[in-house]
Amino acid sequence: MLTSDEVKRRARALGFTHVGVARAEGLERESALFDVWCRRGYDATMGWMRKRSEERRDVRLILQEAGSVIVVALNYTAPPGYQSGGGTLKISQYVRGDDYHEVIGKRLEELMKWIRAADPGAEGRYYVDTGPILEKAWAVRAGIGWQGKHTNIITRDQGSWVFLGVLLTTLDLVPDTPAVDQCGSCTRCIDACPTQAIVAPYVLDARRCISYLTIEHKGDIPQELAEGCGEWVFGCDVCQDVCPWNIKFARPSNDPAWASGTGIESEAPDVLLSITREAFVARFRRSAIRRARWEGFVRNVRNALKNLAQKRKTLESM
Protein backbone atom coordinates (compact mmCIF):
# COMPACT_ATOMS: atom_id res chain seq x y z
CA MET A 1 0.00 0.00 0.00
CA LEU A 2 1.25 3.45 -0.90
CA THR A 3 1.71 5.95 1.90
CA SER A 4 0.95 9.67 1.95
CA ASP A 5 4.66 10.47 2.10
CA GLU A 6 5.40 8.36 -0.96
CA VAL A 7 2.64 10.04 -2.96
CA LYS A 8 3.83 13.49 -1.88
CA ARG A 9 7.41 12.77 -2.86
CA ARG A 10 6.28 11.65 -6.29
CA ALA A 11 4.05 14.71 -6.73
CA ARG A 12 6.95 17.02 -5.86
CA ALA A 13 9.21 15.13 -8.25
CA LEU A 14 6.69 15.94 -10.98
CA GLY A 15 7.15 19.63 -10.22
CA PHE A 16 4.33 20.46 -7.84
CA THR A 17 5.40 22.91 -5.16
CA HIS A 18 2.75 21.90 -2.61
CA VAL A 19 0.84 18.69 -2.04
CA GLY A 20 -1.65 17.73 0.65
CA VAL A 21 -4.17 15.01 1.40
CA ALA A 22 -7.75 15.17 2.67
CA ARG A 23 -10.15 12.41 3.52
CA ALA A 24 -12.82 11.88 0.83
CA GLU A 25 -16.02 12.96 2.56
CA GLY A 26 -18.92 15.36 2.21
CA LEU A 27 -18.48 19.12 1.87
CA GLU A 28 -21.85 20.04 3.34
CA ARG A 29 -20.95 23.47 4.73
CA GLU A 30 -18.78 24.54 1.81
CA SER A 31 -21.34 23.38 -0.75
CA ALA A 32 -24.15 25.17 1.05
CA LEU A 33 -22.18 28.43 1.00
CA PHE A 34 -21.44 27.92 -2.70
CA ASP A 35 -25.14 27.40 -3.42
CA VAL A 36 -25.99 30.65 -1.63
CA TRP A 37 -23.28 32.43 -3.63
CA CYS A 38 -24.84 31.20 -6.88
CA ARG A 39 -28.39 32.10 -5.83
CA ARG A 40 -27.26 35.67 -5.22
CA GLY A 41 -26.16 35.82 -8.83
CA TYR A 42 -22.48 36.16 -8.00
CA ASP A 43 -21.64 33.45 -10.55
CA ALA A 44 -22.72 35.87 -13.32
CA THR A 45 -23.21 33.99 -16.61
CA MET A 46 -21.15 30.96 -15.53
CA GLY A 47 -24.18 28.72 -15.21
CA TRP A 48 -22.10 25.55 -15.52
CA MET A 49 -20.91 26.15 -11.96
CA ARG A 50 -24.36 25.23 -10.64
CA LYS A 51 -24.49 21.85 -12.35
CA ARG A 52 -23.85 18.47 -10.68
CA SER A 53 -24.39 19.94 -7.21
CA GLU A 54 -24.77 16.55 -5.52
CA GLU A 55 -21.37 15.40 -6.78
CA ARG A 56 -19.86 18.71 -5.71
CA ARG A 57 -21.23 18.07 -2.22
CA ASP A 58 -19.83 14.53 -2.07
CA VAL A 59 -17.00 13.42 -4.40
CA ARG A 60 -17.79 9.80 -3.59
CA LEU A 61 -20.62 10.17 -6.09
CA ILE A 62 -17.93 10.77 -8.73
CA LEU A 63 -15.60 7.99 -7.62
CA GLN A 64 -17.66 5.55 -5.57
CA GLU A 65 -14.82 4.07 -3.55
CA ALA A 66 -12.85 7.29 -3.14
CA GLY A 67 -10.85 7.25 0.06
CA SER A 68 -8.64 10.31 -0.32
CA VAL A 69 -8.43 13.64 -2.13
CA ILE A 70 -4.92 14.62 -3.18
CA VAL A 71 -4.55 18.36 -3.72
CA VAL A 72 -1.57 19.83 -5.54
CA ALA A 73 -0.45 23.43 -5.99
CA LEU A 74 2.01 24.89 -8.46
CA ASN A 75 3.81 28.20 -7.99
CA TYR A 76 3.53 30.58 -10.96
CA THR A 77 5.03 33.77 -9.50
CA ALA A 78 6.58 35.93 -12.21
CA PRO A 79 10.11 37.35 -11.94
CA PRO A 80 10.52 40.83 -10.35
CA GLY A 81 9.61 43.64 -12.71
CA TYR A 82 7.44 41.45 -14.97
CA GLN A 83 5.21 43.55 -17.22
CA SER A 84 2.87 42.88 -20.11
CA GLY A 85 1.86 44.80 -23.20
CA GLY A 86 5.04 46.79 -23.55
CA GLY A 87 4.63 48.17 -20.04
CA THR A 88 1.32 49.89 -20.81
CA LEU A 89 -1.41 47.28 -21.05
CA LYS A 90 -1.72 44.67 -18.33
CA ILE A 91 -2.20 40.91 -18.49
CA SER A 92 -2.43 38.66 -15.45
CA GLN A 93 0.86 36.95 -14.79
CA TYR A 94 -0.76 33.51 -14.72
CA VAL A 95 -0.92 33.48 -18.52
CA ARG A 96 2.73 34.31 -19.15
CA GLY A 97 3.45 30.69 -20.08
CA ASP A 98 1.62 27.55 -21.19
CA ASP A 99 -2.03 26.96 -20.31
CA TYR A 100 -2.01 25.79 -16.70
CA HIS A 101 -4.98 23.47 -17.33
CA GLU A 102 -2.81 21.38 -19.63
CA VAL A 103 0.39 21.69 -17.57
CA ILE A 104 -1.20 20.52 -14.33
CA GLY A 105 -3.48 18.03 -16.07
CA LYS A 106 -0.54 16.22 -17.68
CA ARG A 107 1.34 16.06 -14.39
CA LEU A 108 -1.70 14.73 -12.53
CA GLU A 109 -2.09 12.12 -15.25
CA GLU A 110 1.53 11.09 -14.67
CA LEU A 111 0.90 10.93 -10.93
CA MET A 112 -2.13 8.71 -11.50
CA LYS A 113 -0.12 6.40 -13.80
CA TRP A 114 2.54 6.11 -11.12
CA ILE A 115 -0.06 5.30 -8.46
CA ARG A 116 -1.61 2.58 -10.63
CA ALA A 117 1.81 1.08 -11.36
CA ALA A 118 2.58 0.95 -7.63
CA ASP A 119 -0.91 -0.24 -6.67
CA PRO A 120 -2.68 -1.88 -9.66
CA GLY A 121 -6.00 -1.87 -7.86
CA ALA A 122 -6.05 1.90 -7.33
CA GLU A 123 -8.43 4.13 -9.29
CA GLY A 124 -8.55 7.88 -9.66
CA ARG A 125 -10.01 10.97 -11.35
CA TYR A 126 -8.20 14.28 -11.68
CA TYR A 127 -9.48 17.81 -12.22
CA VAL A 128 -8.03 21.23 -13.03
CA ASP A 129 -10.82 23.81 -12.93
CA THR A 130 -13.14 21.22 -14.41
CA GLY A 131 -15.94 19.07 -13.08
CA PRO A 132 -18.01 19.50 -9.91
CA ILE A 133 -15.01 20.03 -7.64
CA LEU A 134 -14.61 22.79 -5.03
CA GLU A 135 -10.84 22.99 -5.42
CA LYS A 136 -10.36 25.75 -2.88
CA ALA A 137 -12.38 23.97 -0.21
CA TRP A 138 -10.33 20.82 -0.75
CA ALA A 139 -7.10 22.84 -0.66
CA VAL A 140 -8.08 24.08 2.80
CA ARG A 141 -9.01 20.57 3.94
CA ALA A 142 -5.68 19.20 2.65
CA GLY A 143 -3.65 21.86 4.45
CA ILE A 144 -2.39 23.57 1.28
CA GLY A 145 -3.54 26.97 2.51
CA TRP A 146 -6.52 29.00 3.63
CA GLN A 147 -9.02 30.88 1.47
CA GLY A 148 -8.20 34.56 1.77
CA LYS A 149 -10.64 37.44 1.81
CA HIS A 150 -10.02 37.82 -1.94
CA THR A 151 -11.19 34.17 -2.18
CA ASN A 152 -7.84 32.86 -3.49
CA ILE A 153 -5.93 30.17 -1.62
CA ILE A 154 -2.99 31.59 0.36
CA THR A 155 -0.07 29.36 1.30
CA ARG A 156 2.15 30.25 4.25
CA ASP A 157 5.40 29.94 2.32
CA GLN A 158 4.43 31.20 -1.14
CA GLY A 159 1.37 33.41 -0.83
CA SER A 160 -1.46 33.03 -3.33
CA TRP A 161 0.40 32.83 -6.64
CA VAL A 162 -0.41 29.12 -7.04
CA PHE A 163 -2.52 26.98 -9.34
CA LEU A 164 -4.56 24.11 -7.89
CA GLY A 165 -5.27 20.60 -9.06
CA VAL A 166 -7.25 17.77 -7.45
CA LEU A 167 -6.88 14.00 -7.74
CA LEU A 168 -9.59 11.76 -6.29
CA THR A 169 -8.25 8.32 -5.48
CA THR A 170 -9.34 5.06 -3.91
CA LEU A 171 -6.14 5.06 -1.86
CA ASP A 172 -6.63 5.33 1.89
CA LEU A 173 -3.99 7.92 2.77
CA VAL A 174 -3.27 9.69 6.04
CA PRO A 175 -4.90 13.14 5.76
CA ASP A 176 -3.17 16.41 6.57
CA THR A 177 -4.38 18.98 9.10
CA PRO A 178 -6.68 21.57 7.50
CA ALA A 179 -5.24 25.06 7.08
CA VAL A 180 -6.21 27.86 9.46
CA ASP A 181 -7.20 31.34 8.28
CA GLN A 182 -4.32 33.79 8.74
CA CYS A 183 -5.82 36.93 7.16
CA GLY A 184 -6.61 38.52 10.51
CA SER A 185 -8.00 42.06 10.30
CA CYS A 186 -6.29 42.84 6.98
CA THR A 187 -8.58 44.24 4.24
CA ARG A 188 -6.00 45.36 1.68
CA CYS A 189 -7.45 43.21 -1.10
CA ILE A 190 -10.97 44.50 -0.47
CA ASP A 191 -9.83 48.12 -0.36
CA ALA A 192 -7.70 47.84 -3.51
CA CYS A 193 -10.22 46.20 -5.87
CA PRO A 194 -10.84 48.74 -8.68
CA THR A 195 -14.42 47.62 -9.25
CA GLN A 196 -15.38 46.75 -5.65
CA ALA A 197 -15.90 43.12 -6.65
CA ILE A 198 -15.10 41.79 -3.16
CA VAL A 199 -18.48 42.69 -1.70
CA ALA A 200 -17.66 41.24 1.73
CA PRO A 201 -14.70 39.37 3.23
CA TYR A 202 -14.42 36.02 1.41
CA VAL A 203 -17.26 36.93 -1.01
CA LEU A 204 -16.55 37.83 -4.64
CA ASP A 205 -19.23 39.11 -7.01
CA ALA A 206 -18.01 37.82 -10.38
CA ARG A 207 -20.25 40.31 -12.18
CA ARG A 208 -17.94 43.08 -10.99
CA CYS A 209 -14.62 41.20 -11.17
CA ILE A 210 -12.16 42.35 -13.83
CA SER A 211 -11.01 38.77 -14.40
CA TYR A 212 -14.57 37.71 -15.20
CA LEU A 213 -15.27 40.79 -17.30
CA THR A 214 -12.15 40.35 -19.44
CA ILE A 215 -12.34 36.56 -19.84
CA GLU A 216 -15.83 35.10 -19.43
CA HIS A 217 -18.13 38.04 -20.11
CA LYS A 218 -19.49 38.29 -23.65
CA GLY A 219 -20.45 41.52 -25.36
CA ASP A 220 -19.65 45.03 -24.20
CA ILE A 221 -18.39 45.53 -20.67
CA PRO A 222 -20.98 47.56 -18.69
CA GLN A 223 -20.06 51.24 -18.83
CA GLU A 224 -20.03 51.63 -15.06
CA LEU A 225 -17.35 48.91 -14.83
CA ALA A 226 -15.36 49.47 -18.03
CA GLU A 227 -13.40 52.38 -16.58
CA GLY A 228 -12.57 50.37 -13.46
CA CYS A 229 -10.97 47.71 -15.66
CA GLY A 230 -8.14 50.18 -16.28
CA GLU A 231 -5.44 48.80 -18.56
CA TRP A 232 -6.21 45.13 -17.93
CA VAL A 233 -6.76 43.15 -21.12
CA PHE A 234 -6.84 39.64 -19.61
CA GLY A 235 -7.46 38.92 -15.95
CA CYS A 236 -6.42 41.06 -13.01
CA ASP A 237 -3.80 40.73 -10.26
CA VAL A 238 -4.63 43.72 -8.05
CA CYS A 239 -6.00 41.83 -5.04
CA GLN A 240 -2.96 39.54 -5.06
CA ASP A 241 -0.45 42.30 -5.71
CA VAL A 242 -1.40 44.02 -2.45
CA CYS A 243 -1.63 40.88 -0.30
CA PRO A 244 1.01 41.03 2.48
CA TRP A 245 1.57 37.28 2.22
CA ASN A 246 2.58 37.70 -1.42
CA ILE A 247 4.68 40.77 -0.78
CA LYS A 248 6.61 39.02 1.98
CA PHE A 249 6.80 35.38 0.92
CA ALA A 250 6.21 34.93 -2.83
CA ARG A 251 9.28 33.71 -4.71
CA PRO A 252 9.61 33.60 -8.53
CA SER A 253 8.90 30.25 -10.12
CA ASN A 254 11.59 28.61 -12.21
CA ASP A 255 9.17 26.08 -13.68
CA PRO A 256 9.87 25.69 -17.42
CA ALA A 257 6.13 25.67 -18.16
CA TRP A 258 5.97 29.42 -17.53
CA ALA A 259 9.07 30.27 -19.58
CA SER A 260 7.53 30.17 -23.05
CA GLY A 261 5.83 33.54 -22.74
CA THR A 262 3.21 34.98 -25.10
CA GLY A 263 5.33 37.65 -26.77
CA ILE A 264 2.94 40.28 -25.48
CA GLU A 265 5.50 41.64 -23.06
CA SER A 266 7.24 43.53 -25.89
CA GLU A 267 4.26 44.02 -28.18
CA ALA A 268 2.97 47.47 -29.11
CA PRO A 269 -0.68 48.00 -28.07
CA ASP A 270 -1.79 48.96 -31.59
CA VAL A 271 -0.52 45.59 -32.87
CA LEU A 272 -2.68 43.79 -30.31
CA LEU A 273 -5.66 45.91 -31.29
CA SER A 274 -5.35 44.97 -34.96
CA ILE A 275 -4.70 41.25 -34.48
CA THR A 276 -6.83 39.08 -36.76
CA ARG A 277 -8.92 36.14 -35.62
CA GLU A 278 -6.59 33.72 -37.35
CA ALA A 279 -3.49 35.30 -35.85
CA PHE A 280 -5.09 35.27 -32.39
CA VAL A 281 -5.89 31.55 -32.61
CA ALA A 282 -2.40 30.68 -33.88
CA ARG A 283 -0.56 32.88 -31.42
CA PHE A 284 -2.38 31.81 -28.28
CA ARG A 285 -3.06 28.15 -29.03
CA ARG A 286 -0.95 27.09 -26.02
CA SER A 287 -2.07 29.95 -23.78
CA ALA A 288 -5.08 30.39 -21.51
CA ILE A 289 -5.57 33.76 -23.25
CA ARG A 290 -7.56 31.91 -25.90
CA ARG A 291 -10.34 31.58 -23.29
CA ALA A 292 -11.21 35.24 -23.86
CA ARG A 293 -11.89 34.52 -27.54
CA TRP A 294 -10.75 36.90 -30.27
CA GLU A 295 -13.76 39.18 -29.94
CA GLY A 296 -13.31 39.52 -26.20
CA PHE A 297 -9.57 40.09 -26.41
CA VAL A 298 -9.87 42.90 -28.99
CA ARG A 299 -12.69 44.44 -26.93
CA ASN A 300 -10.45 44.38 -23.88
CA VAL A 301 -7.53 46.00 -25.70
CA ARG A 302 -9.80 48.73 -27.05
CA ASN A 303 -11.22 49.44 -23.59
CA ALA A 304 -7.77 49.43 -21.99
CA LEU A 305 -6.39 51.90 -24.56
CA LYS A 306 -9.40 54.15 -23.96
CA ASN A 307 -8.75 54.11 -20.23
CA LEU A 308 -5.05 54.70 -20.76
CA ALA A 309 -5.72 57.71 -22.97
CA GLN A 310 -8.08 59.14 -20.37
CA LYS A 311 -5.50 58.65 -17.63
CA ARG A 312 -2.87 60.48 -19.68
CA LYS A 313 -5.29 63.30 -20.44
CA THR A 314 -6.08 63.66 -16.75
CA LEU A 315 -2.39 63.74 -15.81
CA GLU A 316 -1.63 66.35 -18.46
CA SER A 317 -4.39 68.61 -17.14
CA MET A 318 -3.08 68.53 -13.58
Among all residues, which ones are annotated catalytic? 129
DSSP string, the chain: ---HHHHHHHHHHTT-SEEEEEE--B-HHHHHHHHHHHHTTTTTT-GGGGSSHHHHHBGGGTSTT--EEEEEEEE-PPPTT--SGGGTSEE-GGGSSS-HHHHHHHHHHHHHHHHHHHSTT--EEEESS-SS--HHHHHHHTTS-EE-TTSSEEBTTTBT-EEEEEEEES--PPPPPPP----TT--HHHHH-TT--EEETTEE-GGG-HHHHHHT--SSPPHHHHGGGTTEEE---HHHHT-HHHHHH------GGGSS--SGGG--HHHHHT--HHHHHHHTTTSGGGGGHHHHHHHHHHHHHHHHHHHHHHHHT-
Are 66 and 243 contacting, i.e. CB atoms less than 8 angstroms apart?
no
How far are the Cα atoms of 4, 47, 152, 203, 287 from residue 41, in angstroms, in the given order? 39, 10, 19, 12, 29
Question: Integer distance in angstroms from the first to the last C-alpha of the chain?
Answer: 70
Q: How many CB atoms lie within 10 A of CB 116?
A: 14
